[in-house]
Structure 1
């Protein structure tokens, strides 16, 4: 098949996405496919000859490396010669229209929020992962929690918009400790655990800089365990144990920064509860193909649902490939399964 892998874009998770895209592209080429890796934002800018030439371009090895900090998106935007306000670079949609399927290796607000899925739906081009509506719902942490609160246990939360005018009032009203995080971001970008007033004010100020829409979530003490869903079945859970602090952007993507145990060393009944909770969220929102649900599990074995990711990372340190490997699905086979299951989902209207 001819497969376009879309990565990059203008999300703060841009560098993670490029790493995922590079790994997926190599794996799909090894599976015998023609693969073109395309940066959603830069598109075919700088490509010599027709856009189809991207099918023959080697995968840039530099894409696989993820820096310790999220990219400066103003610098990224300024680097494109095309000054169009579009988030989609030149030639991208035309290249996608000529593909048999588009593999979405995008993360964050440029790819997980349903907008690129809707564009591809209108083009009539199949793509990997969930459809546009389910993707948009899952991207919004507040809306997701509202929908699944009757199905699973979730920490108490409220959604606020942080402004310069209400920041101090929010700081006074919020019970500590609290988790502060953007309503529609991933990779733990902008996530803070505030234990005192000073930390809370700093977190709220950062939230304001990121747009203001924020979830204030009850802090639950427990073990961080995540569960992937693949083709409507839960994969073995994986426990995350950061060596320092919590599972933030740096600890997620710097090799050796966190201990990842798969399958998680937990009682069988905990594993069952986690799998059932992940599937309940997956099905309630209407997701398809694959996703990864994040939980905090308390000492009594109660899984507290935090969020679900519809396009989870596929980087060298990512969790879904580790969970798939635990049931004998190698990286290349995982990518192939995602492609095949997605084609079935699109034919079925999902």
Structure 2
């Protein structure tokens, strides 16, 4: 198959996306596919869509080419009107399917998916509606609450709100402050003092126009992916220091991740059931990964969010869950393509 692995973009997770995309592209080529790695924002000016998939291809060279645009990113964002770079649409139209390796806003938020739907371009992952809901932590929380999915209580605030303390929001410390649409734990603050709350809100608003303030759940961190309606083995996540933030997610050895999680069968089943319920609540198609906290005091399971394009880096969690049931990285990539193609066969 001719496959575009679409990565990079303009979000705070651009670098992570490049790593995911590079690994996916190599895996697909090992399986015999004509895959190419493409930056959704900067594109490939020299590409001829009719021949771009032919012949030998150096994925590492393509990744370095994409990274070369990093210093230009901010200036290009200010001067550009179109999100799609040169030849991106033409190459994606030429492909049999586009493997979305995008993370964060302008990629995981449904806008690329909506554009591809209108253009008749086939892609991996869920549709634009569920992507948009899952990307916005405020909307996700509302949908979870309406659907009976256990989730921490919280409120949404917007830029311009003068309140800067938990007490002003009617909440008790500690709390968590999160940008509404950020990924990879970028901009998240655990607030144990009112000064932390002020700083956390300022940090969140430096990244986005809205933020979620939610109750702090003292307990263990877990994750569970759902692929084609099946919940996979649960992963227990234990950072060696702090919590599961950006550094601990993407620094090899910084976090201990155990899969299957060393927990009771009952708790495993409960997390998997909540993962399926959360996936159903947002209308997830194909695959996604749900993140959880299990409260230490009573073992109650809380779903935090849905990742509709979960990471596919060497330290990512979905590949670990797949490996636990005998699916290696290359064949996981193939499986995600196969699952995604089902929606186009109906």
Place the TM-score, normalised by the shorter chain, in its bin: over 0.9
Q: Structure 1 residue 53 and structure 2 residue 52: aligned?
A: yes
Q: Structure 1 residue aligned with 2:309, among 301, 304, 311? A: 311
SS for the counterpart of 1:4 is strand
1:61 deviates by 6.7
**Structural RMSD (CA):** 2.2
Q: Is the 8 A contact 2:293 2:301 kept in 1?
A: yes
Q: Counterpart of 2:337?
A: 339
Alignment of 1:1-16 (within 5 A): 1-16=1-16
Q: Structure 1 residues 97, 208: CA separation in 2 closer, same or farther (over 3 Å shift)?
A: same
Q: Counterpart of 1:282?
A: 279
1:256 deviates by 0.6
Q: Is the 8 A contact 1:295 1:304 kept in 2?
A: yes
Q: Structure 1 residues 217, 74: CA separation in 2 closer, same or farther (over 3 Å shift)?
A: farther
Q: Structure 1 residue 273 and structure 2 residue 254: aligned?
A: no
Q: Is the 8 A contact 2:49 2:91 kept in 1?
A: no
Q: Structure 1 residue aligned with 2:138, among 138, 142, 148? A: 142
Q: Is the 8 A contact 2:2 2:53 kept in 1?
A: no
Q: Is the 8 A contact 1:52 1:95 kept in 2?
A: no
Q: Structure 1 residues 180, 287: CA separation in 2 closer, same or farther (over 3 Å shift)?
A: same
Q: Counterpart of 1:88?
A: 84
Q: Is the 8 A contact 1:22 1:61 kept in 2?
A: no
Between stretches 228-237 and 298-307, larger displacement belongs to 298-307
Q: Structure 1 residue aligned with 2:235, among 238, 242, 246? A: 238
Q: Counterpart of 2:252?
A: 255
Q: Structure 2 residue aligned with 1:178, among 175, 178, 182? A: 175
Q: Structure 1 residues 170, 145: CA separation in 2 closer, same or farther (over 3 Å shift)?
A: same
Distance in structure 1 (CA, Å) of the matches to 2:293 and 2:61: 35
Q: Is the 8 A contact 2:226 2:287 kept in 1?
A: yes
Q: Is the 8 A contact 1:162 1:204 kept in 2?
A: no
Q: Counterpart of 1:38?
A: 38
Distance in structure 1 (CA, Å) of the matches to 2:305 and 2:244: 14
Q: Counterpart of 1:126?
A: 122
Structure 1 portions without partners, runs of 5+: none
Deviations 1:199-243 (A, max 9, x none): 111111111111230010100000000001111110000011111
Q: Counterpart of 2:294?
A: 297
Between stretches 194-203 and 145-154, larger displacement belongs to 145-154
Q: Structure 1 residue 155 and structure 2 residue 148: aligned?
A: no
Q: Structure 1 residue 220 and structure 2 residue 217: aligned?
A: yes
SS for the counterpart of 1:109 is coil
Q: Structure 1 residue 115 and structure 2 residue 114: aligned?
A: no
1:134 deviates by 1.1
Structure 2 portions without partners, runs of 5+: none
Deviations 1:171-219 (A, max 9, x none): 7434311111011111001111011011111111111111230010100
Q: Structure 1 residues 330, 87: CA separation in 2 closer, same or farther (over 3 Å shift)?
A: same
Distance in structure 2 (CA, Å) of the matches to 1:203 and 1:178: 10
Q: Structure 2 residue aligned with 1:322, among 298, 304, 320? A: 320
Distance in structure 2 (CA, Å) of the matches to 1:245 and 1:51: 50
Q: Is the 8 A contact 2:234 2:259 kept in 1?
A: yes
1:79 deviates by 5.9
